Structure 1
């Protein structure tokens, strides 16, 4: 009997040792191959592609200093966020400092309030007062970029304004560009011409055509290796159309109709884009974009050999380019095989060309879209609209680290129930479960009384 108990004890001890050994091995493996899984729909606990891309560009150590009280409720959340940055780059280091216990460090980093984050890189520092990825990445980007590219938006032709905060303005786009360290200004070409420090010239939704002297100014700018973004809505713009035609871009005199969008959005004049031919702007791009009252923009069949034109956004097969614009404006649309072009229809193209002689070669870049509404305050935050236009600016300015999918804002997701579902959720915990417990308890009591 005692021998059997001894053997059982030995077996139990060996089992415990083996189990502990397995735990140690798993722990060692997990430390070397750390992996977390974010199961939220918006991936709110995972760094965005843009943040990861920016972190990959680090060449030296980047320090994140969190000045939080020891008992701060925000500290666990910030710790998780710092861990995400650390696991994304070997150069990221972080440390928490209690300003009350270490006032000298707080003074050294000029920290005057609790819950402040200091980002330090190559001796330069930026403070962050809102402990969220958007603001930390913005501070990192500010430290690693050597300078700010200047973007000039044309005005004087009814273009959408960067100072307009209504639904038809593009003030939100201006803010997003400034977040990505661009300087954003307006320019009146007829009076000022194109400034010498202009990195990207943007033409956003003009209502009237440019005059000949302005066209010559833009052409001269392109021939020097300039970068131009043009968003041209349906309408009559012969001079602008002719200018871009010289660079292999055909702006159609039509309006795009998409029946697939009518099925999902109830509006055939608002094409939803999900087809992105391969290009650096749309590489790994998997978000839907919504345009409104757009025209076709495509590559010309014949253009100069030194010009490379590629489509970057196309409509569905259920679309077509409607030539009868007058009928569309009256609310009547019908596909005419004789005149209309069947989809998919290109709504945007990117053009790159080499300018100058071999010794002084420069690259000029042009992107043209057949719609300007998708970048307005009304549409900018729809799915992939902001990412598409910001990636476009990134490509035009050769800011490769800015071409990515940005962090999706966290949204409230209310649970909407039908009347029947509400009743079920009420009755199960309030009526059914208590009733089952009561019946079970009564049955046990009755059995015991009958037994004794």
Structure 2
């Protein structure tokens, strides 16, 4: 199939980096063509493919045989960050390759993954960055009130349950189980408030996942953010889902998480694999309103999991359920600034199978952020406050003695 990449920019005002990247795709295949289109000279061209107001240095990718197209707005091709010194947004990276590759996949493959987001139980709102991440991965997203349907729609590739605060009915749980047993996939996030959701927890139990009451506190200073022992930086366990996190050497942050464990008794068709785990020093704080995060009588000792993947294979049909026990795991800041976004795209890709999206990370032009855990902060603090002054003092003494000898 022939594909044309149209660059919408006024002649002489093209972004040369954008233009260079787009032309690289033309070199990769005889079926991909790059064509510049000046919106001043061709004012009606873009309206043939999109009803959006176009921006300078944007793109339209078109399948010339099917007419399927995707518009790439300039603002989606740059990564911005708010500068609190100037109170303005500044460009910190480019995402042209990621968006362009996503668009090529979109126009050449009409059979793309579809995610249904369950509503009706006080679930958390899906964030804007989450939605844009799904769009970039070519995953269609639609809400589902499962109480009002007889079954999960047949075109559902992934069911997303985002931290419910009210329980499911037994009928709803049965519908989800029936969907899963037919080869369905689910991503579930939860937090400590789920302890009273009996039917919801029965669904997790069916897939070998147990939720420990309380909020996790990490006792290992090297596995939480400085001064926040309930903002955990868990170990990332090697798995197809977590490969990108490990390869990019980025932290996953799990704020105010609950502890997960694997059931001692599971059916032979079920396997439960760890994705994220605490240290042995972690514990589940039972009094969530306590004035201290220190371990107290009644707190439950770890270690715990914060991410698990349950896979059930029966009669050649496999279903997957990924469970993450931190409500804010996929909030805007954590998807953008840490490895949580890689974890999310890895989970989507794993569950999509042959429909798996191609994900290319954006290219940063800003100085790398340095994220330190509590232990790393203490070590660097000791170096600056204690070791460095001593080194300077010793150096001064040595220099002074040498001068006296002269």
In structure 1, the residue matched to 2:402 is: none
Unaligned 5+ runs, structure 1: 1-59, 163-169, 415-452
Tell me, yes or no, if the aligned pair for 2:242 and 2:343 is still in contact at 8 Å.
yes
C-alpha distance in 2, partners of 1:267/1:301?
Answer: 32
- The 3-state SS of whatever aligns with 1:288 is coil
In structure 2, the residue matched to 1:271 is: 232
Q: What is the CA distance between 1:66 and its match in structure 2? A: 3.9
In structure 1, the residue matched to 2:143 is: 186
Question: Considering only CA atoms, is the larger Rg found in Structure 1 or Structure 2?
Answer: 1
C-alpha distance in 2, partners of 1:251/1:382?
Answer: 28
Alpha carbons of 1:412 and 1:245: their partners in 2 closer, same or farther (altered >3 Å)?
A: same
**Which aligned pairs between 1:50-449 and structure 2 lie closer than 5 A?**
62-66=3-7, 72-82=12-22, 84-85=24-25, 89-90=28-29, 93-97=32-36, 115=57, 117-121=59-63, 123=65, 124=67, 126=69, 128=71, 130=73, 132=77, 133=96, 134-162=98-126, 170-197=127-154, 198-235=156-193, 236=195, 237-258=197-218, 259-260=220-221, 264-273=225-234, 275-285=235-245, 286-315=249-278, 317=279, 319-322=281-284, 324-326=285-287, 328-335=288-295, 340-343=300-303, 345-355=304-314, 357=315, 361-398=316-353, 401-402=356-357, 404=359, 406-407=361-362
Unaligned 5+ runs, structure 2: 78-95, 370-406
- The 3-state SS of whatever aligns with 1:240 is helix
- The 3-state SS of whatever aligns with 1:309 is strand
- Total equivalences in the alignment: 336
C-alpha distance in 2, partners of 1:289/1:371?
Answer: 11
Tell me, yes or no, if the aligned pair for 1:278 and 1:312 is still in contact at 8 Å.
yes
Tell me, yes or no, if the aligned pair for 1:292 and 1:373 is still in contact at 8 Å.
yes
Tell me, yes or no, if the aligned pair for 1:395 and 1:403 is still in contact at 8 Å.
no
Alpha carbons of 1:199 and 1:95: their partners in 2 closer, same or farther (altered >3 Å)?
A: closer
Tell me, yes or no, if the aligned pair for 1:387 and 1:404 is still in contact at 8 Å.
no
Q: What is the CA distance between 1:234 and its match in structure 2? A: 0.9
Tell me, yes or no, if the aligned pair for 1:210 and 1:240 is still in contact at 8 Å.
yes
C-alpha distance in 2, partners of 1:127/1:334?
Answer: 53
Tell me, yes or no, if the aligned pair for 2:286 and 2:299 is still in contact at 8 Å.
no
C-alpha distance in 2, partners of 1:185/1:390?
Answer: 18
- The 3-state SS of whatever aligns with 1:380 is helix
Alpha carbons of 1:84 and 1:385: their partners in 2 closer, same or farther (altered >3 Å)?
A: farther
* Cα-Cα RMSD: 3.7
Instruction: Encode CA deviations 1:271-314: one digit per residue, 9 max, x unaligned.
Output: 123x2212111114232121111012233343222212111112
Tell me, yes or no, if the aligned pair for 1:215 and 1:240 is still in contact at 8 Å.
yes
Structure having the higher strand fraction is 2
- The 3-state SS of whatever aligns with 1:270 is strand
